[in-house]
Structure formats: structure tokens, C-alpha cells
Amino acid sequence: MSQPHLELHENPPEQPRRGFMTHFFAAGIGLLVGVVPSFAGLAFFLDPIMRKKKEGSGDGFLKMPVSLDALEINGEPQLVKVIMDKVDAWNKFLNQPVGAVYLRRTAKDKVVAFNSRCPHLGCAVDYKPLENHYFCPCHTSTFDDDGKMQNEIPPRDLDTLKVQIRNKTEIWLKFQNFRATTPEKIPVG
Ligand code: FES
């Protein structure tokens, strides 16, 4: 006569616990696989916005490659090329020429700066030391030492820019281009 078969399970209470752990880890891995790429994608799309916020934290002034000591008070204005990083929505272009400025020292610790673009149609103005004025070769606009227009060709005076003297001799400039042809200074770029 056969004996009833009795199955013995070692540690039977472990089974439900093992099942729970398996589900827990599977859910965790599923979450990682699903959520991490989503965050990466979100960061990619928000990148220009985040980048803009970071760049906006500076004060926007650039240190000029000329020191205050190199400029004579009421001397000839010095033309300086402006090089800066340009950023569009997705790319950053390092050390790009964006324009030029005339720097003129008018007092011991004061420098005035003019954007060298003519406000008529945007040509580069020259400084004529013998005549003590700025002259645009394209359509003969002229401006005096203070950047005031001297004939009726340009729509406004030369565009002044903000300048700061830091650490006694450093010249810092906030560069900006403005729209040509308008009587008002309208920033562009
Ligand atoms: S662009 Fe300077 S006078 Fe026309």
C-alpha cells in the first residue's frame, strides 16, 4: 500500500517575500529606463533656456584690450575691435568679431565710447585727426569729437556705449549695435 506523498518545503514563508522583492526591483528598473531618458530629453529641449539664464547672470561688460593709461586726455580716439562669444539658441561661437568702438579719454578717470557703425546705413566711420571729427566715407556723414552729427545725412549722433573704469586702469565696455536709419537708438542683436 502506498504511503501518502508528503512534499516538504524548506523555508516556505520566504516565497512571498522573494516575489515581492522581484517585483520591487523590476518596477525600479522600469522606472529608471522610462524616466531617465525623459529627463535627458527635457534637459536637451530646455538647454537654450537654461543657458540663457546662466549667461544673464553676468553684467555684460567686456574688458577692453587698452588701459586707461594708454589714452591721452582729450587725445585722439583709439579704434578697438570688439571680440566676443556669440550664442544662438543651440550653438556658442567663441571669439567672434562683432564690431568696433572708438574710445576717447575725456578726463582723468573718464572714457567715452562710440560704436564705429555709422547710424546712416551702417558703414564704418573713420576718425580724421586733422579735422578733429568722425567721417563716414559712404555718404559723407560727419560727427564732431563728442559724436554729435555735423550735417543732415545721418539720422542721429554716433551711438554712445556704457563704459566703466575698474581697478583704476581697466576699461570695461558694454557693447551694443543699434539699428541704422532711425532717429532713435534701437538695440539690435
Ligand atoms: S552709411 Fe555713413 S553716411 Fe551713409
Give pLDDT tens digits along the chain (189 positions).
Answer: 444 444 444 454 555 555 656 665 666 656 555 555 554 444 444 444 444 444 433 788 999 999 999 999 999 999 999 998 888 888 989 989 999 999 999 999 999 999 999 999 999 999 999 999 999 999 999 999 999 999 999 999 999 999 999 999 999 999 999 999 999 999 997
Q: What is the pLDDT, as a whole number, of residue 90?
A: 87
Pocket test for ligand 1, best of 114, 115, 133, 141 (most atoms within 8 A of CB): 141
Amino acid at 188: V
Q: What is the pLDDT, as a whole number, of residue 26?
A: 64
Domain containing 45: what range? 14-58
Quick one: which of 158, 93, 73, 91 has its CA closest to 124?
A: 158
Please indicate, yes or no, whether residues 100 and 139 belong to a single structural domain of this protein: yes
Is 1 a member of any domain? no
Please indicate, yes or no, whether residues 92 and 143 belong to a single structural domain of this protein: yes
Please indicate, yes or no, whether residues 28 and 92 belong to a single structural domain of this protein: no
Please indicate, yes or no, whether residues 129 and 45 belong to a single structural domain of this protein: no
Is 8 a member of any domain? no
Q: What is the pLDDT, as a whole number, of residue 189?
A: 78
How many domains does the chain contain in total?
A: 2
Please indicate, yes or no, whether residues 177 and 137 belong to a single structural domain of this protein: yes
Tell me how far apart the 2 most distant CA atoms of the chain are, in Å.
131
Q: What is the pLDDT, as a whole number, of residue 37?
A: 53
Please indicate, yes or no, whether residues 127 and 167 belong to a single structural domain of this protein: yes
Ligand 1 pocket: which residues have CB below 6 Å? 118, 120-123, 136, 138-139, 141, 153
Please indicate, yes or no, whether residues 74 and 134 belong to a single structural domain of this protein: yes
Residue with CA nearest ligand 1 atom 4 = 139
Pocket test for ligand 1, best of 115, 116, 121, 157 (most atoms within 8 A of CB): 121
177 alpha carbon – ligand 1 mean position (Å): 15
**Ligand 1 atom with the shortest distance to the CA of 123:** 1
110 alpha carbon – ligand 1 mean position (Å): 28
Q: What is the pLDDT, as a whole number, of residue 17?
A: 57
Residue matched to cell numbers 556669440: 86
Please indicate, yes or no, whether residues 86 and 145 belong to a single structural domain of this protein: yes
Is 103 a member of any domain? yes
CA 10 to chain centre: 69
Please indicate, yes or no, whether residues 48 and 82 belong to a single structural domain of this protein: no
**Ligand 1 atom with the shortest distance to the CA of 125:** 2
142 alpha carbon – ligand 1 mean position (Å): 9
Q: What is the pLDDT, as a whole number, of residue 35?
A: 54
